[in-house]
Amino acid sequence: MLDMYLPIVVLFVLAAGFAAFSVGAATITGPKRFNRAKADAYECGISPTPQPMGGGRFPVKFYLTAMLFIVFDIEIIFLYPWAVSFDQLGLFGLVEMTLFIGTVFIAYAYVWRRGGLEWD
Amino acid sequence: MPVDIESVPVAYSAILPMLLVLGAAAVGVLVEAFVPAARRRVAQVVVALAGLVGGLVAVVALAGEPDRLVVGDAIAIDGPTLFLQGTLCLLGIGAVLLLSESSLDSSGGDIVSSAAALPGTREDLRLAESQGVQTEVYPLAMFALGGMLLFPASNNLILMFIALEVLSLPLYLMAGLARRRRLLSQEAAVKYFLLGAFSSAFFLYGVALLYGYAGTVDLGGVREATLLAQDDDLLLYLGLAMLAVGLLFKVGAVPFQAWTPDVYQGSPTAVTALMASATKVAGFGALLRVLYVGVAEVRWDWRPALWAVAILTMVAGALLAVTQTDVKRMLAYSSVAHTGFLLVGVVTLDTDGLAGTLFYLLTYGFTTIAAFAVVTMVRDSAGEATHLSSWAGLGRRSPLLAGTFALLLFALAGIPLTSGFTAKFAVFQPALDDALPLVVVGVVASAVTAFFYARVVVLMFFTDPAPDGPSVAVPSGFTTAAIALGAAVTVVAGVVPQPLLDLAQSAALFTR
């Protein structure tokens, strides 16, 4: 019975091995030329520290873009399987999908009119 | 290689109430995008009210049809669904009326455009004048109400989770939109969001465990699995317990009530009215469906736990309310106590108990909306004067308002000839047979709640008003209509409750 789980164990070992190898190989072979930007946690986006006094304000542009991207993403997730099985779903699928895209479009219309697509 | 896809037939007519309300929400978003700012508020109110009235008409039209499961057995159209959906549409109308009030606050409404801006700053003034004068609260409320309509109708745990999120997410946002006391409001929003997200995770984990137990997320399938229940069904009880955490959080039962006072106090009062009435109705609807349809066959195993929750909720809600000095916090703890009374009706698990619970939800919802509406009208220069001391002598200055509030408080206390008495009788009487201790605790807790309701009445009518006390703002027709609606239901359901009780009785059958 436990044999069933052997592939999963093998996968875990492979994954752990790959992680150890990548980090180890990078440490051994990679050049070590540190500068300020490289020491940051992320190379783009908002610097997590130091925070301005009292928390301060930070731009939400990145989050806005990320959220818009997720809406696109979800739309695509539904569009692909629908496109693949378009013939079998027929008219019903077309109508439902049009309704779905219509509702997503409402969100975009709102974002567009409210200036969510402008960077500044 | 193509596989056969079985497309699920969608009975659009059966889900029309939800489609109309969610459709109105979508139209509301378009209104927000394209209608000029000057006419936006009127358009939003018209769209929201039209959607809710349409939903109510659709519910009434569905009422005569036989019970059935639609959309691949995921949605149950039966008595409790339609009764609660009708209730929710009516409560939604009341809440939208309260949101539409703009003549109470000198700055035009209690909902702010951008809550993050500090009041009076350049940013705040710019937003107030810009095209972005926000009326997003209407579509948000409609999305929340759409989720609430779906919540008690879900016969499928995944759909129930989606409905839970659809109703919760707009409420988290709306909690932070208060114009006055913004920090309190933002604190409420963050607390509600963090705790709500936490409880949603519990709910989802419970769904996963129940799926592991039953092999399906269908409530009917869960029921079939419980028919073969063994003593060691750890997955079932662990899953059910986690699911219950999510549901009991939404209805504010002890020990998951901690968010209630802070969120009720910090949110704009119109939003609090929506939360206190409609969310409770929807949450209890879903709880009832899970317990009656999903796990009724193993009732002897989970009833003791629900007994304990009911007793704790009644006692803690009633006792903590006594110590409150803020009228919104007092109403919040009283809503916790009422959750306990409702749970007495839930654990009965028979037709009479179900009918009593449905009736209680309806009457409690209307009384609560009207009570919070009254709170919005008592104001001083800083906005709503919610501290109880400033309500002293209100009965001398404004007898009509104080009289209405006294009526609503009597109803919440369960004084005869108000809906509260009939409702308490309707949930306690079926429980007499096999849950006598619960009824005893319930009656004692009712007496305790009567004490602090009476204290407010005494404060309003038999105390001298403070010289610099708050004034009663003159509302527009919106708030007046909401209060009249709530007070009318409170009186009618108290004096001639029989038609409504009969309606609840005829609706009290879940379809499987």
ipTM for the complex shown: 0.81
Residue A97 is assigned to a structural domain of this protein: yes
Q: How much is the pLDDT for B107?
A: 66
- Exposure of A75 by Cβ count < 10 A (0-12 exposed, 13-18 middle, 19+ buried)? middle
What is d(CA B353, CA B346) in angstroms, rounded to the nearest whole number? 6
Tens digit of each residue's pLDDT, chain B (512 residues)? 556 777 778 888 999 999 999 999 999 999 988 988 888 889 999 999 999 999 999 999 999 888 889 988 899 999 999 999 999 999 999 999 999 887 777 666 777 767 667 767 777 777 666 655 568 899 999 999 999 999 999 999 999 999 999 999 999 999 998 888 888 899 999 999 999 999 999 999 999 999 999 999 999 999 999 888 676 688 899 999 999 999 999 999 989 999 999 999 999 999 999 999 999 999 999 999 999 999 988 888 899 999 999 999 999 999 999 999 999 999 999 999 999 999 999 998 889 999 999 999 999 999 999 999 999 988 887 788 888 888 888 888 889 999 999 999 999 999 999 999 999 999 999 999 888 999 999 999 999 999 999 999 999 999 888 777 777 888 888 999 999 999 999 999 999 999 999 999 999 889 87
CB contact at 8 A, B340 and B443: no
Residues A114, B33: C-beta atoms closer than 8 Å: yes
Looking at the 3D structure of chain A, how many domains does it have?
Answer: 1
- State how far residue B237 is from chain A, nearest Cα, in angstroms: 26
Q: How much is the pLDDT for B133?
A: 57
Residues B30, A110: C-beta atoms closer than 8 Å: yes
List, in sequence order, every beta strand (DSSP E) within B374-439: 378-380, 383-384
Mean pLDDT computed over every residue of chain A:
84
Give which of A82, A84, A113, A117 to mutate to test B binding, by max B Cβ within 10 Å.
Answer: A113
Residue A120 is assigned to a structural domain of this protein: no
What is d(CA B109, CA B439) in angstroms, rounded to the nearest whole number? 43
Tokens 């940051």 identify what position?
A40
Residue A81 is assigned to a structural domain of this protein: yes
Contacts of B149 (CB under 8 A, 6+ apart): B17, B18, B21, B55, B85, B88, B89, B282
Residue A11 is assigned to a structural domain of this protein: yes
Residues B34, A109: C-beta atoms closer than 8 Å: yes
For chain A, the distance separating the N- and C-terminal CA atoms, rounded to the nearest angstrom, is 60
Q: How much is the pLDDT for A65?
A: 85
CATH number of A52's domain: 1.20.58
Does the pLDDT value for residue A3 go beyond 70?
Answer: yes
Cβ of residue A118 closer than 8 Å to a chain B Cβ: no
One-letter amino acid of B439: V
Give the number of beta-carbon pairs within 8 Å between A and B: 31
Does the pLDDT value for residue A4 go beyond 90?
Answer: no
Residue A60 is assigned to a structural domain of this protein: yes
Closest Cβ–Cβ partner in B26, B32, B132 for A103: B26
Residue A108 is assigned to a structural domain of this protein: yes
Q: For chain B, what is the total number of helices (H) and then of strands (E)?
A: 21, 5
Give residue A102's domain range. Answer: 2-114
Cβ of residue A85 closer than 8 Å to a chain B Cβ: yes
- State how far residue B29 is from chain A, nearest Cα, in angstroms: 7
Residues of B in contact with A106 (CB under 8 A): 26, 29-30
- State how far residue A67 is from chain B, nearest Cα, in angstroms: 15
Question: What are the helix (H) ranges across B252-298?
Answer: 259-266, 269-274, 280-289
Residues of A in contact with B30 (CB under 8 A): 106, 109-110
Residue B119 phi, psi (nearest 5)? -60, 135
SS3 B25: helix
Q: How much is the pLDDT for A41?
A: 67
Cβ of residue A71 closer than 8 Å to a chain B Cβ: no
Q: Which residue of A has its CA nearest to B130?
A: A114
Residues B5, A107: C-beta atoms closer than 8 Å: no
Estimate to the nearest angstrom the gap between the alpha carbon of B431 and the chain centroid.
Answer: 24
Q: Which residue of B has its CA nearest to A104?
A: B26
Residue A80 is assigned to a structural domain of this protein: yes
